[in-house]
Amino acid sequence: MHTMMLKHPQQKYRAFAPIALPDRRWPDAQLTRAPQWCSVDLRDGNQALIEPMDPARKLRMFQTLVQIGFKQIEVGFPSASQADFDFVRLLITQNLVPDDVTIQVLTQARDHLISRTFESLVGAKKVVVHLYNAVAPVMRRVVLGLDEDGVVDLAVTHAAMIRDMAARQPGTEWTFEYSPEMFSNTDLHFSKRIVDAVTATWAPTPTRPCIVNLPSTVECSTPNQFADMIEWMHRQLERRDAIVLSVHPHNDRGTGTAAAELALMAGADRLEGCLFGNGERTGNLDLVNVALNLYTQGVSPGLDFSDIDAIRRTVEHCNQLPVHPRHPYVGDLVYTSFSGSHQDAIKKAFAARKDGEIWDMPYLPVDPKDLGRSYEAVIRVNSQSGKGGIAYLLESDYGLELPRRLQIEFSQVVQAVMDIDGKELGSDDLWALFAKEYRPEQAQLARVEIQEQELGAGGQGADVSVRAQWQQGGQVREVHGRGNGPLAAFVAGVQAATGVSVEVLDYHEHALSGGAEARAVAYLELRVGGERTLFGVGMDANLVNASMKAVLSGVQRALGESRDTATKVEEISV
């Protein structure tokens, strides 16, 4: 019968036993500097791929890692396959490893694999030889068939073999690394015992340290418990001053990043992981995530992700696996807000932000531009959006600075379309909707004549008379009015022409930047027919004409509501 989730999972699974570390110090620690980074993309990442990388992809990955700034790169498991062996040979014989980069290779604690590993390394300048064997009780029991003494002996014998083989190749600068595999599932006292035995064999010194790498081969506890384990080892290990303490988290519980960060707080010096978290099962630690978490705390990670999208494309090509659109820092959607209230806050914060200020941007933990992203995708409009997002797009891409009440009015137009269509609207779509609704340029004004006459001492202001021709629907209409300014005169003319009262309640204007010619836009809030309040928008090279067009835009909209717009527009004539 098909098995189902258990009502009493304690019958099948047991909780991780807490670590006895009442005086733990890591909770008060702060991350103030970057760790040593080691990429294992070409080994742990590669061994988890559906199709392991071919030589061209491996080389591309290696060069990308070098460009990012990794100084330690695990390049393979040379005794496991001819492909891995050949790749290590290629790097060495073609001199493809920069002087400041150390390659690292993995080997099991088995004689023939170690011999083959050293064969692959002939002529290398600097190498980390990484030895591992399983230490967890289940692995001792079912895989190795050894008791604790037997496993310690396995590790020490092969650590000695490595030491001796390295001594026979003095032209290479060697560093040794030991990983008790499945450290996360192993009793701490046994982990300490085996690590101490290995480091006693290697006899590292503070100036020639070895690396002790503690993997959560399978993540099986909360990150605070992993941190307790790391602090325990950090405090208990012998020869600690001659050890670079490394961690190698996997992500089975989805907390690989947290585990790594807390492990650093607990005393680790070095992290192993992969770009964007590729690796066995749910992946290795995502090194980009940790590096950029540090960056957003003001700590330089020493790795360069200035063009994070190019790096993602390379990684996707090499791994033949996509990066999720919501992946931290790099996903397509991670700098995008669809929700109206988020958009509103971002728009206001961008407007308030001054150059050189500390980054304090709602909903954006990092400046997308630092990672080679533009602000274009920061706001995208769908049915969850509000006026702020719509206004932001029209301003960023079309230079329109809509007054607040016009934003509210136009967002209702957009929402009505969204309610029917439900699809995302880009700035081009929004502009098309705006142009259709307000016709800011359609009202063709021609032969505008403005005559101004100063009134005498007893009079007030100026007496202005406006005559204009309005070409609409293939016909030429005349508008003629008088007032104390061109706009007032024009409004009077339109009132006379339509028989409808028009009152200007509010007026905004600005120049439109961009384009060959200077242009202006006018936004008029009008009361038309004594009741309805609404906006008209006009654009023209001439500011006065823009405001006249805005009057026509608003009147057309108001009259178009009660009767068919096209015919009503035709009626607005003298």
Ligand X SMILES: CC(C)C(=O)C(=O)O
Ligand Y SMILES: CC(=O)SCCNC(=O)CCNC(=O)[C@H](O)C(C)(C)COP(=O)(O)OP(=O)(O)OC[C@H]1O[C@@H](n2cnc3c(N)ncnc32)[C@H](O)[C@@H]1OP(=O)(O)O
Annotated binding site: 44, 248, 250, 284
Q: How far is the CB of 305 from ligand Y (least distance, A)?
A: 26
- Could you give the CA distance from residue 505 to residue 491 in angstroms, rounded to a whole number? 12
Query: Which of 44, 84 has the CB closer to Mg ion?
Result: 44
**Does residue 181 touch ligand Y according to CB under 6 A?**
yes
> Which of the residues 20 through 49 are near ligand Y (CB under 6 A)?
44, 47
Q: How many residues bind Mg ion (CB under 5 A)?
A: 1
Q: How far is the CB of 17 from Mg ion (least distance, A)?
A: 23
Segment interacting with ligand Y (CB under 6 A) among 74-82, 311-319, 340-348, 419-427: 74-82
Q: How far is the CB of 124 from Mg ion (least distance, A)?
A: 23
Binding mask 81-100 for ligand Y (x = CB under 6 A): x-------------------
Q: What is the dihedral of CA 481, 484, 485, 487, to 10 degrees?
A: -50
Spatial neighbors of 233 by CB under 8 A, at least 6 apart, are 188, 191, 192, 195, 212, 214, 245, 267
In this structure, are strands 532-540 and 243-249 parallel, antiparallel, or unpaired?
unpaired
Q: How far is the CB of 37 from ligand X (least distance, A)?
A: 15
The candidate with the shortest Cα–Cα distance to 346, out of 356, 333, 337, is 337
Q: How far is the CB of 108 from Mg ion (least distance, A)?
A: 13
- Could you give the CA distance from residue 182 to residue 243 in angstroms, rounded to a whole number? 20
- Residue 110: contacted member of ligand Y, Mg ion, ligand X, none (CB under 5 to 8 Å, by partner type): ligand Y
The binder of ligand Y chosen from 80, 146, 408, 512 (CB under 6 A): 80
- Residue 409: contacted member of ligand Y, ligand X, Mg ion, none (CB under 5 to 8 Å, by partner type): none
Relative orientation angle of helices 340-352 and 387-398, to the nearest 10 degrees: 50
The binder of ligand Y chosen from 134, 214, 425, 489 (CB under 6 A): 134
Query: Which of 178, 295 has the CB closer to ligand Y?
Result: 178
Which tokens is 408 given?
A: 């509210």
Query: Which of 249, 389 has the CB closer to ligand X?
Result: 249
Distance between first and last Cα of the chain: 87
- Could you give the CA distance from residue 366 to residue 329 in angstroms, rounded to a whole number? 8
**Does residue 144 touch ligand Y according to CB under 6 A?**
yes
> Which of the residues 37 through 56 are near Mg ion (CB under 5 A)?
44
Q: How far is the CB of 141 from ligand Y (least distance, A)?
A: 12
Q: Which residues are annotated as a binding site for Mg(2+)?
A: 44, 248, 250, 284
Query: Which of 210, 534 has the CB closer to ligand X?
Result: 210
**Does residue 74 touch ligand Y according to CB under 6 A?**
no
Beta-bridged to residue 450, according to DSSP, are 466
Q: How far is the CB of 246 from Mg ion (least distance, A)?
A: 12
Q: What is the dihedral of CA 50, 55, 57, 61, to 10 degrees?
A: 110
In this structure, are strands 72-76 and 36-39 parallel, antiparallel, or unpaired?
parallel
Spatial neighbors of 270 by CB under 8 A, at least 6 apart, are 35, 36, 37, 38, 211, 213, 244, 245, 246, 247
Do residues 391 and 351 make contact, with C-beta atoms less than 8 angstroms apart? Answer: no
- Residue 179: contacted member of ligand Y, Mg ion, ligand X, none (CB under 5 to 8 Å, by partner type): ligand X
Binding mask 351-390 for ligand Y (x = CB under 6 A): ----------------------------------------
**Does residue 77 touch ligand Y according to CB under 6 A?**
yes
- Could you give the CA distance from residue 522 to residue 540 in angstroms, rounded to a whole number? 9
* Single-letter residue type at 443: A
